[in-house]
Chain A
């Protein structure tokens, strides 16, 4: 039988499509974020073959992961001391990648005989998925390290421009780090609010930045940036700088995450100027 598997681009959808593809290895794959979108695509393509839709109904993820990767799917895969994410988290991270092609991911998963081949696959496709997972993970880690939220009307707000779809992950991380404050992560015309219960909202909600502006709260002054410069500059011994190592810690790719990290990167590249405008006036 010639079939099309239509799946939703969620972890459940991908796992269900993977299981289906193992039963029907010749099937074609189509995907969408919602059922309506998929139906439109099917109509547009004028497909008249059998179509199996999966992932549009809630399904137990752990059971699906067990069916796909066996009983020990959740056993920690670690190479040396680097602990890798479990397959569910792995799929979630790959799906967040800007270049992710979900049907490629489904094919990779369906051809992975065991869990470890997801992390140490020899084929190009397996390697690409692994690379996507690492890139998203790295991008998230960089945000956690280099984003510098500031207080906007009493809300700890970070304005970010991540290359992958990780805004909600970062918002959750920021909310966990500051459980006693409302936090917001703004990207373009969307804002993610964490610890929203301070405003009588859900714990995590997605709103527009204009809505964020309506949330009145106290204004907290912020003079930390200057203090940080004093601290950062005091830590350096110019003659002993390990520039190569410093560049690794303060990568160029992360310098655009915030103004403070851009300044720190500048100091890594150019050194810390011993002469400042203030010194001129003190003379």
Chain B
């Protein structure tokens, strides 16, 4: 169990505690995240489980995973299972084993959340069966293009094994959501994961790919896993991706997901080489567009409010509902982070004096 659980730690996004998800009621829930096996026929260059690597190989039987999941679930340590695996022979065989775990759990009355990480190349008929029992399922894109993908995952084909599967999962999610209806089983949105820093793609490319996936495959939330060199792999001498890069990519993806921005709106925030700086992308975006500020909170549209640092989607909607405002304290009660927002807002004609305004007044 220790080996297989630790096999998943490398794709634990934003290393904090054990794997988390969010329930529909907004609660944060813990998941038991494990591999079915760390035997793998793949030769992914960054992966600790690649077939050529000399490492102890172990497997858990479906019955064992079911037993551990129940034990944790009863103690309320988890509310669901996140099941991934190394590729045992081929994708079909692996997915069948994964499906067996989920089926056994459901047959025993398990009502918790099941997230299945699919293998690239999983056949469509198995995807359909997985969609019947799992709450969430998705395939990892890992990188942004076929060329990069063939570099890091030489055994799989990007357009067929990944993009085609993303298209199928999107269709299945729509179908299943219609089937279960409101109040039925939760069917999570399409998701995928990128390994940041294993291939040479820039952040601009990653953000554009995320944007494209959101449009094309209804991707809701991308996950980013920083590349960390694993000994005895072809990339063992590469530098690890800095942790802040993953954080900034998450922040940028939220600008696409929750703020209604498109990848092209963010072109100004990258360095010349297309990488993000270690600063809040929303503040950078505001600083790149000084002509847009300060905005009057009592007249601004939702889109304008969303561009103000310190105002998120929740506080922006509240501001629209509760206008007009007379002072900063009232705005603070709406959840606005005043220290961040102050340079960019105007209330009843009053705004923070900046250097250019001061110089203008002096002249």
Contacts and interface: CB of A to CB of B under 8 A. Distances in A.
A224 B72 contact: yes
A116 B330 contact: no
A150 B14 CA distance: 31
Interface string B294-314: 000000000000000000111
A260 interface: yes
A234 B35 CA distance: 12
A275 to B, nearest CB: 17
Contacts of B10: 237
B26 A83 contact: yes
A29 to B, nearest CB: 24
B363 interface: no
Given A122-B325, A122-B330, A147-B76, A241 B15 contact: yes
Interface string A65-102: 00000000000000111110000000000000000000
A240 B228 contact: yes
Interface stretch (B16-24, B55-63, B159-167): B16-24
A116 B321 contact: yes
Given A234-B2, A236-B9, A224 B74 contact: yes
A181 B27 CA distance: 23
A154 B3 CA distance: 32
B317 A235 contact: no
Contacts of A230: 1-2, 5
B77 A224 contact: yes
Nearest to A225: B75
Contact of B333 (A79, A80, A127, A248): A127
A82 B18 contact: no
| Residue of B29, B76, B247, B258 with highest tally of chain A CB at under 10 A | B76
A81 to B, nearest CB: 7
Contacts of A268: 17
Contacts of A237: 9-10, 12, 15, 228
Contacts of B45: none
B75 A228 contact: yes
Interface residues on B, range: 35 or more
Contact of B32 (A231, A236, A248): A231
A240 B15 contact: yes
B8 A235 contact: yes
A120 B26 contact: no
A231 B325 contact: no
B144 interface: no
B334 interface: yes
A235 B75 contact: no
B50 interface: no
Given A235-B9, A242-B15, A227 B68 contact: yes
Interface residues of A, number: 53
Contacts of B77: 148, 224, 228, 260
B71 interface: yes
Contact of A231 (B5, B20, B258): B5
B68 to A, nearest CB: 7
Interface in B16-73: 16-20, 26-30, 32-33, 68, 71-72
A246 B26 CA distance: 18
Interface in A221-271: 222, 224-225, 227-228, 230-237, 239-242, 245-246, 248-250, 260, 264, 268
Contacts of A141: 26-28
B174 interface: no
A83 B330 CA distance: 22
Give the 6 A-B residue pairs with the shortest CB-CB distance, closest first: A80-B313, A234-B6, A245-B16, A120-B318, A246-B16, A79-B317
Given A120-B322, A224-B77, A235-B9, 19 more contacts: A79-B318, A80-B316, A117-B321, A119-B318, A120-B321, A121-B333, A122-B334, A149-B75, A177-B76, A227-B1, A228-B75, A228-B77, A230-B2, A231-B2, A233-B2, A235-B33, A240-B226, A260-B75, A264-B17
20 contacts: A79-B313, A80-B314, A80-B316, A120-B334, A121-B333, A144-B76, A145-B27, A145-B29, A148-B77, A149-B75, A225-B75, A227-B1, A228-B77, A230-B1, A234-B5, A235-B6, A235-B33, A236-B9, A240-B15, A249-B28
Interface of B: 1-3, 5-6, 8-10, 12, 14-20, 26-30, 32-33, 68, 71-72, 74-77, 79, 109, 111, 226, 228, 243, 247, 258, 312-318, 321-322, 325, 330, 333-334
Interface of A: 79-83, 116-117, 119-122, 127, 141, 144-145, 147-151, 156, 158, 174, 177-181, 222, 224-225, 227-228, 230-237, 239-242, 245-246, 248-250, 260, 264, 268
